[in-house]
Amino acid sequence: EIAETAGYKKLCLELGGNSPLIVLADADLELAVNLATQGCFRNSGQRCTAVKRILVHREIAEPFTEALVAQAKDFVCGDPSDEETMIGTVIDEAAAQYLETVIQEAVAAGAQVLCGGQRRGAQLQPTVLRGVPRDARMVVHESFGPLAPVMEVEDLSDAIQLANSTAYGLSAGVVTRDLEAATRAIRELRTGTVNINEVPGYRIESSPFGGIKDSGLGVKEGVIEAVKWMTYTKTFSFPW
């Protein structure tokens, strides 16, 4: 709608995301769990590049999930003005109610809540789920809050296919020690950014940043790219 209204005016649309964190069988498990908890729960999960789907190789899914639940329970919910608080509210109560609804839908479709899931006003506890169906609204659309749906994958091909299966294409993270797997993921994931052994939200402010598909027009933010985008390049000949 913004693009339609703007007409010929230049636009740099930085839209939503549904960023996956792919954890392959050879991943450093401790690193993967730390990235997952930070990526899912910091800022109450309200970042466009927050981890929204955790795609874990089935061989390590059990130990990964156990460690993730243990860390999630350490995130203290409460008053944002309290220094001990790690999880505050989402933007408003309606947003928290929506998150509660997608949790209930996923559970009705066979998912299991391993921790969290309780709402109080606009605050939702950090919530880890497993067995979320691939067509659940929680993982097909952007769930803007502290949810950590763990989804098992068979291999890298399966992970890439699942990661690419939504309308969004903002960012992705891949945890692996395998250089070949990392370069393949960079090549085949349909996102504006791919971070290896980092969260999808990792960025240097001067680097190009922006999404594709329903996450943006392919236009990049970042100091240099923003200046280039908002500047008209003039070509001239000058046969003096």
Catalytic amino acids? 14, 48
Q: Are strands 168-169 and 212-213 parallel, antiparallel or unpaired?
A: antiparallel
DSSP 3-state of 16:
coil
Q: Please write down the HEC assignment for all residues of 181-235.
A: HHHHHHHHCCCCEEEECCCCCCCCCCCCECCEECCECCCCECHHHHHHHCCCCCC
Q: Are strands 127-130 and 112-115 parallel, antiparallel or unpaired?
A: antiparallel
Q: Which sign does the torsion angle of CA 146, 150, 153, 156 carry?
A: positive
Q: Could you give the C-alpha distances from 98 to 33, 88, 121, in angstroms and in order?
A: 26, 17, 12
Helix (H) / strand (E) element for 129: namely strand 127-130
Phi first, then psi, for residue 124 (nearest 5°) are -120, 130
Cβ-proximal residues to 34 (8 Å cutoff; 6+ apart), any chain = 71
